């Protein structure tokens, strides 16, 4: 007997849009949490785009991740560009909490955890891309990563 796999069709259109946008929102919030300078910011955005576009990890949420990876990352980044870093961080954390609940309700537990871990891993990769004031992950990035991890229930 084949195990059922959760797909984007197990969610409402609005839920799925929020789930698919989550890695962009969280990753971009981390990128904006601390000014990395022009080159550092470029590198963080490049890391965000490449992390989402990479081949989906071989985990329980692979089908969800593959579907979410088709999102137009650059377009979504443009939508978030004008938000203040603190506001964007708060929006990202609230979205993590809300979407975590939706995933826990609709997806299999291992799929939910794997998807949320993928989102967090992307945020961590972005934070680790460039140095701010000589440190790899700044205090602002570390704080946002902690808040994100807690909101995702990881």
Q: Is the pLDDT score of 63 beyond 90? A: yes
Find the mean pLDDT for residues 90-106.
98
Q: Is the pLDDT score of 4 beyond 70? A: no
Please state the pTM of the whole predicted model.
Answer: 0.94
> Where is pLDDT greater, at 58 or 134?
58
Mapped onto helix, strand or coil, the DSSP state of residue 16 is helix
Find the mean pLDDT for residues 131-139.
86
* The two structure tokens encoding residue 110: 């291992």
DSSP state of 52: H
Q: Is the pLDDT score of 17 beyond 90? A: yes
Q: Is the pLDDT score of 27 beyond 70? A: yes
Task: Return the minimum-mean-pLDDT range out of 5-9, 12-16, 87-91, 94-98.
Answer: 5-9
Helices (H), the chain: 13-33, 37-53, 62-68, 73-80, 85-106, 109-127, 139-152
Q: Is the pLDDT score of 3 beyond 80? A: no
Mapped onto helix, strand or coil, the DSSP state of residue 137 is coil
* The two structure tokens encoding residue 77: 């980044």
pLDDT band at 55 (very low <50, low <70, confident <90, very high): confident
Find the mean pLDDT for residues 129-154.
93
Domain definitions of the chain by residue range: 13-152
């Amino acid at each position: 007997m084949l195990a059922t796999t959760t797909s984007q069709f197990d969610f409402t259109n609005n839920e799925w849009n929020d789930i698919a946008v989550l890695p962009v929102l969280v990753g971009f919030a981390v990128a904006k949490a601390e000014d990395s300078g022009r080159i550092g910011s470029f590198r963080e955005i490049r890391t965000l785009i490449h992390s989402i576009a990479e081949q989906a990890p071989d985990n329980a949420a692979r089908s969800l991740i593959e579907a979410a990876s088709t999102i137009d990352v650059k377009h979504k980044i443009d939508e978030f560009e004008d938000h203040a870093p603190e506001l964007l961080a708060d929006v990202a954390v609230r979205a993590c909490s809300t979407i975590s609940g939706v995933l826990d309700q609709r997806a299999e537990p291992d799929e939910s955890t794997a998807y949320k871990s993928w989102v967090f891993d992307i945020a961590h990769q972005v934070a680790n891309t460039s140095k701010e004031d000589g440190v790899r992950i700044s205090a602002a990035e570390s704080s946002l990563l902690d808040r994100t991890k807690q909101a995702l229930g990881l």
